[in-house]
Amino acid sequence: MSNAAPAVERWLAWRYLATRQREGFVSFIAVFSLIGVALGVATLIVVLSVMGGFRQQLLSRIIGMNGHIAVVARDGILQATPELIATLKATPDVKQVRMTLERQALVTANGQTRGVSLRGVRFEDLVSRDIVMKNIVLGDPAAFGTRGGVVIGDRLRQQLNLRIGDPITLVTQKMNANGTIAPRYADYEVLGTFTTNRYEFDSSLVFVPIDLLQEDLEYGPQAATSIDLELRDANDAPRVAEALRKTLNRGDTRITTWLESNARFVGALQVERVMMFVILSLIVLVAAMNVVASFTMLVRVKRGSIAILRTMGAGAGTIMRAFFMAAAGVGIVGTAVGTALGLFICANMKTVGALVSAATGNSVGQSAEVDFVTTLPVRVQALEVATIVAVAILLSLAAAAYPAWRSVRVEPVEALRNE
């Protein structure tokens, strides 16, 4: 008897979903409620996955150029002694230690002048930066450590109309003995160019051998503005930074993480992500409300059938579970279809990006900024998809509860009297 009851409830649920002449409009609404749930779930998965892809790319470019943790002097120039470097390298979870000497300067070439950011780095530190070495456009940075040239952003090269091997003049400044500031000129050869699809890097960043920059600025061989640490996992930055503060225990240094340096940017991305999830969840909520409306109408249409079943001995629980299964089935099937559709679109996002490019009249490859948008980077996270599915199913079950409750409120005598 216990096995027969669920079978009867499933049969009733299916019969309630079947289209009949009287309740055809109700079934029509139920079908569109299913489509609404599916589209809402698919939209949530696609939009949040694309946002996750953009977030990952943006953060990887920021972190890839600056490191996960920065050790800087509280006042003036940091002395990167061998002992300090050794201590940082010995810290657990630290993958790479890089010295950086950074200064603002002017670059002149072919009668043009641009403001740039000079970064003095060691050759081994430059070649270990994937964001630079994997995005080389022209030239060979391998000569960086032997010929004393520079590696610059490709957009800067275009602005100055430079070619590989052309000379450029870097104008820095020095303090005279009497307190006045005098310009200092240094000539370098362009060895290579890179593009990171970040305008501020590609149009103003110049890598110089750190020993030559130290000499030009009249600093010692250990002078640096920061020591950047690359970790095996960027999320470990706060923990490793706190451990370094305790290990170094130096009042002349300050240790910051990439999260602290980009707090506003990271916070804005996080707020945008949460708000987008909430706003797009309203699509699923509206579809769930349609489920409530359609099955509440179905209960009213089926008042006579419910009354007959009750007089034949069907319990209130049987009727309630049948309506609950019918209404919940619409939401659950819609969630499954939407999840499959969303994952399918994410898996074929390159095709979608090409269609977007064609629709907007932009061709991929015409500019870094356009490519960054039209290629639509995607990062599908299992936890995020599971959360979307869970929210959609919970809303569907909640929507199914009210029509099920209404079905047991039908009084058989009153229902038959009105038939």
pLDDT tens digits in sequence order for the chain, 419 residues long:
444 446 655 555 555 565 554 555 556 667 777 888 888 899 889 888 888 888 877 777 777 788 888 888 877 788 888 888 888 888 888 888 889 898 888 998 888 888 899 998 888 888 888 888 888 888 888 778 676 789 999 999 999 999 988 889 888 887 776 767 778 888 888 998 998 878 888 888 999 998 888 888 888 888 888 888 988 888 888 888 888 888 887 777 888 888 887 778 778 878 888 888 888 888 888 878 877 777 777 666 666 565 565 565 555 566 667 777 777 778 888 899 999 999 998 888 777 767 766 666 655 555 555 555 556 778 888 888 998 899 888 888 887 777 767 655 555 545 445 55
pLDDT reported for residue 318:
65
Beta bridge partners of 37: none
Beta bridge partners of 71: 227, 255
Spatial separation of the C-alpha atoms in residues 180 and 99, rounded to whole Å: 29
Looking at the structure, tell me whether residues 281 and 408 fall in a common domain: yes
Show which of 251, 280, 312 is a domain's final residue: 251
Expressed as residue numbers, the domain containing 38 is 4-61+265-418
Degrees, nearest 5: CA angle 186-187-192: 125
Looking at the structure, tell me whether residues 213 and 335 fall in a common domain: no
Domains in the chain, number = 2
378 is a domain residue: yes
Looking at the structure, tell me whether residues 286 and 229 fall in a common domain: no
| Residues composing the chain | 419
Looking at the structure, tell me whether residues 321 and 377 fall in a common domain: yes
Looking at the structure, tell me whether residues 55 and 84 fall in a common domain: no
Joined together, the tokens standing for residue 93 give 């979870």
350 is a domain residue: yes
Report the sign of the C-alpha dihedral through residues 362, 367, 369, 374, in that order.
positive
By the 10 Å C-beta count (0-12 exposed, 13-18 middle, 19+ buried), 335 is classed as: buried
68 is a domain residue: no
pLDDT reported for residue 149:
86
Beta bridge partners of 118: 103, 206
Spatial separation of the C-alpha atoms in residues 68 and 258, rounded to whole Å: 5
Looking at the structure, tell me whether residues 310 and 184 fall in a common domain: no
* Predicted confidence (pLDDT) per residue in 57-72, tens digit: 777 777 778 888 888 8
Looking at the structure, tell me whether residues 329 and 222 fall in a common domain: no
Show which of 186, 217, 251 is a domain's final residue: 251
pLDDT reported for residue 339:
93
pLDDT reported for residue 341:
92
Looking at the structure, tell me whether residues 273 and 211 fall in a common domain: no
382 is a domain residue: yes
pLDDT reported for residue 77:
84
3-class secondary structure, 291: helix
Joined together, the tokens standing for residue 13 give 């649920």
200 is a domain residue: yes
Looking at the structure, tell me whether residues 116 and 241 fall in a common domain: yes
* Three-class HEC string of 349-415: HHHHHHHHHHHHCCCCCCCHHHHHHHCCCCCCCHHHHHHHHHHHHHHHHHHHHHHHHHHCCCCHHHH
User: CA dist 189 to 28, 136, 147, 151, Å?
Assistant: 72, 16, 8, 9
Question: Residue holding tokens 């599915």?
Answer: 389
pLDDT reported for residue 2:
45
339 is a domain residue: yes
351 is a domain residue: yes
Looking at the structure, tell me whether residues 234 and 301 fall in a common domain: no
Show which of 197, 224, 251 is a domain's final residue: 251
Looking at the structure, tell me whether residues 271 and 373 fall in a common domain: yes
Q: What is the DSSP string of 117-142?
A: EEEEE-HHHHHT-HHHHTTEEEE-GG
Where do the DSSP E strands lie in 110-231?
112-121, 136-139, 150-153, 167-175, 181-194, 205-209, 223-224, 226-231
256 is a domain residue: no
Q: List, as own/partner pairs, every contact residues 371-377 make where C-beta atoms lie below 8 angstroms and the sequence separation is at least 24, other chains included.
A: 371/197, 372/57, 372/197, 375/350, 376/50, 376/53, 376/349, 376/350, 376/352, 377/50, 377/53, 377/54, 377/56, 377/57
Q: Given the DSSP bridges, would you call strands 94-109 and 112-121 parallel, antiparallel or unpaired?
A: antiparallel
Looking at the structure, tell me whether residues 9 and 96 fall in a common domain: no
